[in-house]
Amino acid sequence: MSDDMDMEDGGTIKKFMFVNRKAPYGTIYALEALEVVLISAAFEQDVSMAFVDDGVYQLMKGINSEGTELKNFSKTYRALDGYDIEKLYVEQESLEARGLTEDDLLVDVTVMSAAELAATMAEQDVVISH
Amino acid sequence: MLHIINKSPSERNSVEAALRLATKGSVVLLIEDAVYAATRGNTAAAKIQTAMADLKIYALKPDLETRGMADRVMDGVSLVDYAGFVDLVAEQPNCQSWL
Amino acid sequence: MKFGILVNEGPYTHQSSDSAFKFAQAAIAKGHEVTRVFFYHDGVNNATRLTVPPVDDRHVVNRWAELGEKHGVDLVVCIAAAQRRGLLDDNEAKRQGKDANNIHPAFRISGLGQLVEAGIQNDRLVTFGD
């Protein structure tokens, strides 16, 4: 990705939030969204991911896609830490509405109320959703 | 912040999600199939009505007209064209599309 | 003001590409600069030069190409998303041993870093999708 690194912005650091509201596997959005997040790590921006609505299903433990032959990208969420992407925000209301708790998720996350997440989202420079 | 929504409230929960996660004083723009949320008697009408106390709600006029809904817009919803859409993006410090 | 645009859906099936185009056109008409449109997910299908819509309909691909050429808008297609979906430029076709290419010359293929860069270098990044 060396051509992507030729930037003229002189070290601008912006707050990027990637908002995930779609369940994985039924569509490709979750997988391709994750690819953007991984690339963003190379730009040394202030990156966070928010998991809202069906997006929380992306983080389920115990995913096994052998039967469907879809590419299992669960382990990529575990690798985010290695890319210094540590701000993973999960909306409490979305978990509750799906009968889930933090224990059901495969990575360490920060669970936030809708009000907290709304305030965090409002202070971003760039919000990207898929 | 500008919240851009493009899905009908009877098909997806985007309108509901955006209203839940919009801070007071934010701006909401309904485009494409989300313009149905701006019309009288739709499934989200009561939610939109309540939200107007804290949020400014806009709908994209060309999308309403394209769907034959231009004369059914709820009181309190403001209409913009694409130039107005650009102005909203420019005026607000950031934007989120509720896909 | 400088705008970047992200288009996540293909032409004709979804309105996303039309909305993005109308937005870009209006922004330019108001004296703003649209520096880059990034095509991701099925949005890469906006770049195929083989599109043949009915004569009484808009030509989504040519319309983007003309806007790009007239106003210096950088039309970038995500290489990974494009390859998954069978969209190749001449270089990629040769590299992958394929017998044809289908990217319109007004578009260029590049990496996802170009999307992150569009978020960093523009005042606003607006997403259109499903």
Number of structural domains, chain A? 1
Q: Find the CATH number of the domain harbouring B51.
A: 3.40.1260.10
CB atoms within 10 A of CB C116: 27
Query: Regarding beta strands C124-128 and C107-110, do their DSSP bridges make them parallel or antiparallel, or are they unpaired?
Result: unpaired
Q: Find the CATH number of the domain harbouring A53.
A: 3.40.1260.10
Q: Which residue, chain included where needed, has tokens 């569009």?
A: C118
Whether A12 has a pLDDT exceeding 90, the answer reads no
Question: Could you report the predicted ipTM of this complex, rounded to two decimals?
Answer: 0.97
C78 annotated active-site: yes
Q: Please, which pLDDT band fits residue A10 given cuts at 50, 70 and 90?
A: low
pLDDT of A9 reads 53
Q: Is residue A2 part of a domain?
A: no
Question: Which one is catalytic: C37, C67, C78, C118?
Answer: C78
- What mean pLDDT do residues A10-24 have? 93
Domain residue ranges in chain C = 2-128
Residue-wise pLDDT for A116-130, tens only, equals: 999 999 999 999 999
Choose among A3, A32, A129: nearest Cβ to C81.
A32
CB contact set of B71 (below 8 Å; sequence gap of 6+): none
* Neighbouring chains to C with at least 3 Cβ pairs closer than 8 Å: A, B
Residue-wise pLDDT for C7-17, tens only, equals: 999 999 999 99
CB contact set of A77 (below 8 Å; sequence gap of 6+): A34, A58, A59, A106, A107
Residues from chain A contacting residue C112 (CB–CB below 8 Å): 4, 35-36, 39
pLDDT of A2 reads 40
pLDDT of B35 reads 98
pLDDT of B74 reads 98
Choose among C15, C27, C127: nearest Cβ to B86.
C27
Identity of residue A104? D
Distance CA C124, CA B86 (A): 10
Distance CA C78, CA A20 (A): 19
* Mean pLDDT for all residues in chain A: 93
* Mean pLDDT for all residues in chain B: 98
Handedness of CA C116, B84, C43, B96 (dihedral sign): positive
Whether C108 has a pLDDT exceeding 70, the answer reads yes
Whether C1 has a pLDDT exceeding 70, the answer reads yes
The tokens for C54 are 């009915």
**Domain limits for position A83:** 13-62+69-129
Distance CA B98, CA B2 (A): 11
Number of structural domains, chain B? 1
Architecture of domain C2-128: 3-Layer(aba) Sandwich (3.40)
Q: Does B90 touch chain A (CB under 8 A)?
A: no
Q: C115, C90, C107, B73: which is closest to A18 by C-alpha?
A: C115
The residue ranking higher by pLDDT, B52 or A6, is B52
Residue-wise pLDDT for C17-29, tens only, equals: 999 999 999 999 9
Whether A7 has a pLDDT exceeding 90, the answer reads no
Q: Does B54 touch chain A (CB under 8 A)?
A: no
Residues from chain B contacting residue C26 (CB–CB below 8 Å): 81-83, 85-86
Identity of residue B39? T
Residue-wise pLDDT for C30-85, tens only, equals: 999 999 999 999 999 999 999 999 999 999 999 999 999 999 999 999 999 999 99
Number of Cα atoms under 13 Å in the Cβ half of residue A80:
23
CB contact set of C10 (below 8 Å; sequence gap of 6+): C17, C42, C43, C44, C45, C46
Q: Does A83 touch chain C (CB under 8 A)?
A: no
- What mean pLDDT do residues A29-33 have? 97
Nearest CA in chain B to A93: B20
Residue-wise pLDDT for B31-67, tens only, equals: 999 999 999 999 999 999 999 999 999 999 999 999 9
Residues from chain C contacting residue B86 (CB–CB below 8 Å): 23, 26-27, 30, 32
Query: Distance (Å) from the C-alpha of residue A96 to the closest C-alpha of chain C?
Result: 25
Task: Provide the percentage of residues in chain C whose pLDDT is more than 70.
Answer: 100
Q: Is residue A1 part of a domain?
A: no
C47-74 burial code (b ≥16 CB/10 A, e <16): bbbebeeeeeeeebbebbbebbeeeebb
Task: Provide the percentage of residues in chain B whose pLDDT is more than 90.
Answer: 100
Distance CA B36, CA B45 (A): 9
Q: Is residue A8 part of a domain?
A: no
Is the separation of the CB atoms in A108 and A128 below 8 Å? Answer: no
Angle at B25 between CA B10 and CA B83, to 5 degrees: 70
**Domain limits for position B69:** 2-97
Identity of residue C24? A
Q: Which residue, chain included where needed, has tokens 């130039």?
A: B83
The tokens for A41 are 């790590």
